[in-house]
Structure 1
Amino acid sequence: MSISNWAFLIFLLISANCSLVLSTSDPINQQKLDQVTTLPGQNFNVDFAQYAGYVTSNEESGRALFYWLTEATEEPASKPLVLWLNGGPGCSSIAFGMAEEVGPFHVNKDGKSVYLNPYSWNTVANLLFLDAPVGVGYSYSNTSSDIMSNGDKRTAADSLQFLLNWLERFPQYKGRDFYLTGESYAGHYVPQLSQAIVRYNKANTGSPINLKGYMVGNALTDDYSDHVGLFQFMWAAGMISDQTYKKANELCDRESFVHPSRECDHITDVAYQEMGNIDPYSIFTPPCTVNGGTKRLLRRWHKVGHVRQSYDPCTEQHSIVYFNLQEVKNALHAYHTSRTWETCSGVVGQYWQDSPISVLDVYQELISSGLRIWMFSGDTDAVIPTASTRYSIDALNLTTVGPWRAWYEDGQVGGWTQQYEGLNFVTIRGAGHEVPLHKPKQALTLLKSFLTGTSMAPFEQVIESKTSESQQVSDI
C-alpha cells in the first residue's frame, strides 16, 4: 500500500472515531462532520445546506442506516421535515427518490456529473432520504446475517430508532412538523413506520417526533386488491389474453406479492410475456436500450421504473456508475461499505422475512388517530396500477366527502381526485410507477397541496387565477 493510501486510511479511521465521540457529546460538531460541501460533477452552486452519513439503528448488531438531508432552499427553519422512502423491498431511496425523482440532484447520462432538478421537493420542505433496511444502498450491518433476515417489522423498528437518534444529531428538527412519503413497497414501510411513531408518541410524552401525516404513491397496500387491480388493468389495456386474465384471477386470489405460490408466480410471468418487451412501470414509453439492443425488463415488480422528464429510460444505469465512484462515496461520507453499490439489492429482496398480505388494518388505526393521509397513483403503471389502489381504498369503507372530479395544472387536466373521511386520493394523468419522474411539476403541486391540507385545484380555480392575471395586466 502506498504512503498516500495509508494516509487516507488513517484519515478515515480518525474521522470515524471522532464521529463516534462527537455524536454523543456534541451534535453540532457531528452535523459539521456530516455536511456535504459539493458533489463530484456538480458545476453549479446551491443555496441550501446538505448533510449525509450514518446513524446507528441497533448498537448490538452494529446496524447503521445511511441518510441524506437536503434542507429547504428558502427559510429552512420555518419549513417542515419530509422523509422519502423507496420500496423494493431492497431498493435505495438515494438511487430513485434522490437521483431521479424528488431530490435536487439528478444524475447525468455520463454517470459522472449531476444537474439541478427545478421541481425538487426541497423547494418547499426539508427533504430527508433514508436507505432502509440494512443491505440497501450504502446502509450496512456489522452482523452479516442481518442482510438476509430483514422484514417489515424490523425495518419499522430500525427506522424509528434511526429517527430518534437522528433527531439527537439534528436537535433543531425536534418538534418540527414531520411527514412521511414514499412509493411502491414503501406502501408498507410508510404506514408501518407511521404506526410505530404514533404508538411511541402515546407511550412517551414529549416525543421529539411531531408526525402530522403521510402520503404514498402506487403503493403496495392489500395483496388481494393489488392482484385484482393489476390483472384488470392489463386486460382492459389489451395487454393480456382473456384466458390469462381468467387464470390469473383464479390462481392469485389472496396470494402474497412478496412470496406468491408457484402457480401464481407462473401465470404472472405468462401475463408479462404476453405484454411483450415494454416497461410495465410506464406502459406508453419505450424501455431502455443497452449497446444497441433492448434491455429485457425483469418481471419482478420490486424493480422500479427507468424513465424521467427529459426521457432517458436508462437513468438507473447512470446512477449505478455515479454512486460507485469513490469520490462520490467520500463526498457523502459513505466510508463503511466495501460492496458494490446497487440500486436494488437482490439479496435483501430474496431473503425478505415478514410481509403482511394487507396493511389496511394499519390504515384504520391511523385514520382514527387523526393523521393526514393521502394516496396518489400514476395511471400508466402496470405494476401497482390505479385500479389496485382504488380497490384497496374501497375496502376501507370510508365515507365520501368530496366527489370524484378532475384537477388541473396549467389549464390542463393533471389527474383526478376524490376525498374521503380520513383519506384523500389523487391520480396523476400520464404518470407511471414513479410519478415524480414522469410528471415532476404535477408531483410538486401534489406535495404542496398535501403539506397545506388543501384539495387539488379544480377548473374553477384555474379560470379565476387566469382572470385575475388578465385583470392585473389590464390595470397596468
Structure 2
Amino acid sequence: MPSDLVTSIPANVANTLQIDLNTEQAKKARSYAGHVDIPSAGNSGAENHLFYWFFESQTCSPNVAVDDQRDLISGTPLIIWLNGGPGASSLVGLFLENGPFAMGDDAAGTVSVRSESWNQEAHLLYWDQPVGTGYSYSDIQEYVQDEEALSQMFWEGLQGFFELHPEYAECPLYLCGESYAGKYVPAIAKRIDERNRETPGHRIRLNLRGVSVGNGWITPEVSVRALIDYAYTTGFVGRRQREDLYGRYAEFQEALHSQPPQFETATKLGNALVERTLALGGGFDLYDVRRWDDLPFGALRPYFLSPAVKAALHVPDEVTWEFSDNEGPVAEALVRDNMADCSQLYAELLDKEYRMLLYTGNFDTACGYRSTEEILSDLTKWGGGQEDENWLDAPRRVWKQAQGDPKGFVRQYRNLTQVSVPDSGHEVPAFQPRICREMIYNWIFERPFPGYDPEQSLRE
C-alpha cells in the first residue's frame, strides 16, 4: 500500500463522520496526498516541501491492480489544477470549484461528494504552490521571487510525484489553473517543454499536451484598464471618478514603461488603483460585479487546520495551512513578478503547437473577458511568426444545445480555443460547474461545442 494513499477524510470540522474513498459514496477513486521534498537551490541541507492531492479518474477501478489496467490508466488524461493569489491554496479550488468534494457554507464545514467533479473522465492533481501556499512550506521560508524559480521547483515536484507513481507518468498532461495561475501555467509549461528537450534519460519526460487558464492575470496593464472601464460601464464609478482613475493609471503605466521597468512601484500603484476603484464603487466584489462579497469559504480554514484532516492527508501536525490572495509573504516575494506582462509565453506555447484554452466568466472585473480578448487579439503571430488574421476572423459560435440558453461563446482556430461563459464570475467552475466540466472535456477530448454561427444566421 503506497505511503501517501488517502483512505478517508473527515466529513466535517469536528470529525464526527468520515468519507471513505473506497466506497460508492466517493465514486471509488484512488487518492494520494503528501509532500514532495525538494532540495533548496541555495542552502545546503534545507528543503522545500510541495503538497499535492491526487484523484484517479472514475473510469479506472481502485479495486483492480494497477498492472492489470495500466493501459487504461496511462491513456487517461491527467489534469493539474493550480489556483492563483499569489498565495491561494489549490485546495480551495478542489472544495469550491471542481474537485470530488464540496464544502458547505455551514458552521460545521460539512463535506459532500460533488457530482460535477473533473475526475469523472480524467485524473486530477492539485498542487499547493509556490512554497508558503496552503500546506506547502520551506525549512527556511525560501519564497520564490520569479517565475523562473517557481517553474523549476514545480518541475522538480512533478518529477518527485511521478517517481512515486510511475503509472501516471505517461498520461497526456494538461496544465490548468485560474487567476494568477495565468502566470504560473505558461511558465511551468515552458519549463516542462525545455526540460523535455534537454533532460537526461534518468529524469521523466512529461507528456504535456496543452494548457488552460480561466480568467488569467496575464497582461496586468490591460486588465487594470479594463477594470476601470467595467466599473464605469456598470455604474459603480462616475465620469469624474473615472477620469481621476485614468490619471492614476497613467502613473502606473509610466512605472511599467520606464527603463528599466519599475515593477515594484508598478505593483504598489496597480494594487492601490484597484483598491481605489473598489472603494469608489462602494466595495463591490472584484471577482463578481454582481456581488458585494467573494465566494464564501465557509469552514475551509478550520477544516484544513484540523489535526484529523492533516493526518488523513499525511501532513505533519506542525504544518499550518496558509491562504492569502495577493498579500502576505508569497505575494511580497513576487512583487516584481506581479505586474509584469507574460503574454509572450502564450505565443511561444502556441508556436510550439501546444493546445490552449482560455476561458472567462463575464462578470469578473479583475481579469475578465475584455482583457483576455485584447490579449489574444495581440497574439495573432504564431506558427512561424507570420501575421495571421485568421484568428481574428474565426467564427465566434454560440455554444448551446437545441433548447435552452447559451452555455457560452466559443472561438477556435488551430490550437487555440477561447470560451466566454455567461452568468459567471471569476471562479467559473464554481458558478457554472456542469458547463465548465463539459467545456474542459470538450477541449481535452476534442469534442465539438454544438451550436451555431450567429453571423451566418444573420446573413441567411
* Common fold by TM > 0.5: yes
Q: Distance in 1 between matches of 2:447 and 2:200?
A: 30
Aligned with residue 317 of structure 1, among 295, 298, 301:
298
Q: 1:39 and 1:432 mapped to 2: Cα distance?
A: 30
**Following TM superposition, by how much is the alpha carbon of 1:258 offset from its aligned partner in structure 2, in angstroms?**
7.6
Where do 1:248-327 residues align within 5 Å? 248-253=245-250, 254=253, 260=266, 263-287=269-293, 305-306=294-295, 314=296, 316-327=297-308
Q: Does 1:393 align with 2:393?
A: no
Is the CA contact (8 Å cut-off) linking 2:310 and 2:317 kept in structure 1?
no
Cross-structure match for 2:198? 203
Matched residues, percent identical? 27
Partner residue of 1:51? 32
- Opposite residue 36 of structure 1, the aligned amino acid is V
1:349 to 322, 327, 331: 331
Alignment of 1:445-464 (within 5 A): 445-459=438-452
Q: Does 1:427 align with 2:408?
A: no
Q: Secondary structure at the match of 1:110?
A: coil
Residue 48 of structure 2 contacts residue 131 of structure 2 at CA under 8 Å; is this kept in 1? yes
In the alignment, does 2:234 pair up with 1:241?
no
Does the aligned pair in 2 maintain the 1:320–1:343 contact within 8 Å? no
CA distance in 2 between counterparts of 1:277 and 1:343 reads 19
1:361 aligns with 2:347: no
Change (3 A) 1:360 1:33: same
Question: Which residue of 1 is the match for residue 94 of structure 2?
Answer: 98
Deviation of the 1:233 alpha carbon:
1.7
State the 4+ residue runs in structure 1 displaced beyond 6 angstroms: none
Match of 2:353 among 352, 367, 370: 370
Q: 2:397 corresponds to which residue? A: 405
Change (3 A) 1:218 1:402: same
CA distance in 1, matches of 2:178, 2:139: 28
1:231 corresponds to which residue?
Answer: 228
Does residue 34 of the first structure (1) align with residue 4 of the second (2)? yes
Aligned length: 402
Task: Note if contact 1:140-1:336 (Cα within 8 Å) is conserved in structure 2.
Answer: no
Distance 1:395 1:459, change over 3 A: closer
Query: Which position in structure 1 is the counterpart of 2:134?
Result: 137
Aligned CA-pair RMSD: 2.3
For 2:269 and 2:86, how far apart are their aligned partners in 1?
A: 22
Q: Note the alpha carbon deviations across 1:95-137, whole angstroms, 9 max, x for none.
A: x211100101111223443101111000121000000011111
Which sections of structure 2, spanning at least 5 residues, go unmatched? Answer: 12-17, 61-71, 257-262, 381-387, 454-460
In structure 2, relative to structure 1, the CA distance for the partners of 1:178 and 1:351 (3 Å cut) is: same
Q: 2:147 aligns with which of 141, 149, 152?
A: 152
What is the letter of the counterpart of residue 238 of structure 2?
Answer: S
C-alpha deviations, 1:307-351, integer Å up to 9, x for none?
A: xxxxxxx2x132112111110011001116433543556221123
What is the rounded CA distance, in whole Å, between the counterparts of 1:342 and 1:265 in structure 2?
19
User: Is 159-168 or 54-63 further displaced after alignment?
Assistant: 54-63
Q: What are the within-5 Å matches in structure 2 for residues 211-222 of structure 1?
A: 211-222=208-219
Distance apart, 1:286 and its partner CA: 4.8
Say which SS state the counterpart of residue 182 (structure 2) adopts: helix
CA distance in 2, matches of 1:160, 1:263: 32
Q: Does the CA contact (< 8 Å) of 2:134 and 2:322 recur in 1?
A: yes
* Aligned mates of 1:69, 1:262 — CA distance in 2: 36
Q: In structure 2, how many angstroms separate the alpha carbons of the residues matched to 1:279 and 1:258? A: 25
| TM-score, scaled relative to structure 1 | 0.79
Q: Distance in 2 between matches of 1:248 and 1:67?
A: 41
Within the candidate set 167, 176, 199, 1:172 is matched to 167
Mind listing any 5+ residue stretches in structure 1 that lack a counterpart? 1-28, 288-304, 307-313, 461-476
* SS in structure 1 of the partner of residue 305 of structure 2: coil
Q: Deviations over 1:26-57 (max 9, x none)?
A: xxx5xx11000011114563211101000023
Q: 1:68 & 1:454 partners in 2: Cα distance?
A: 28
Distance 1:205 1:451, change over 3 A: farther
Q: Deviations over 1:419-475 (max 9, x none)?
A: 234421101101100000000011101111110134422159xxxxxxxxxxxxxxx
The residue number in structure 2 matching 1:17 is: none
Verify the 8 A CA contact 1:152 1:354 in the aligned structure 2.
no
The answer for the alignment partner of 1:18 in structure 2 is none
CA separation in 1, counterparts of 2:49 and 2:272?
37
Displacement, 1:235? 1.6
- 1:64 lines up with 2:49 in the alignment: yes
Partner in structure 2 of residue 87 of structure 1: 84
Q: Is the 8 A contact 1:233 1:385 kept in 2?
A: no
